[in-house]
Homo-oligomer: A and B are copies of this chain.
C-alpha cells in the first residue's frame, strides 16, 4: 500500500470529479486514469466516497491551520485578512482541482462527514466575519456588513475558475496581486 500510489489516486480523482462531477466519475475511470486495474484500486482506497472525504477534509484542514496561525499572529486586522484572502487565492491557483471539488461536490459526502463539513464551514465563515468586524471596530476598515464582505470575497476568489478555463493572458502572480489589490482595497477605509 504505497502512499504515493494512494496520493496519485486522489489527485486523479479530484480532476475527474471536477470535470464530470462526483456522480459522473466512476471508480473504473479513476483506475483508467491512474493506469491500474479497477480491482487493485481497492488495495489502496476503500471507496469513491473515501476519496471525496479525503479531498474535502484535506482542503478544510489547510484553511483551518492557516486561520489558526493568522489569528495568533501580531499583525493588524487588515493584514490578517490579506493573508487569508491570499491563501484562498493561492489554493485556487495551485490546488485548483481539490479546492473546486471541495467547494462544489461536498454535498455528496455521506454522514457524519456531511454535517461535520458544513459545521466547520459555518464556523470558519463566522471567524472570517469576526475578523471583518474587528477591522471595523479598530477603525482599519470601512463600515461594511461582515457577512456580505465574507461572501463577497470568498465568491470573488471562486472566479479564478474562469482564469483556469481561459487563455491565461496573465500569470498566476498577476492574478493574485490584482485580486488582492481589489478585495483588500475594497475593505480598507
Contact = CB atoms under 8 A, between A and B. Distances in A.
Task: Determine how many copies of this chain the complex contains.
Answer: 2
Interface string A22-45: 000000000000000000000000
A141 B122 CA distance: 35
Interface residues of A, number: 31
In the A-B complex, the 6 residue pairs with the closest CB atoms: A186-B186, A155-B159, A156-B156, A148-B178, A151-B159, A145-B178
Contact of A148 (B153, B161, B175, B185): B175
Interface in A90-139: none
Interface string A62-98: 0000000000000000000000000000000000000
Contacts of A181: 142, 144, 186
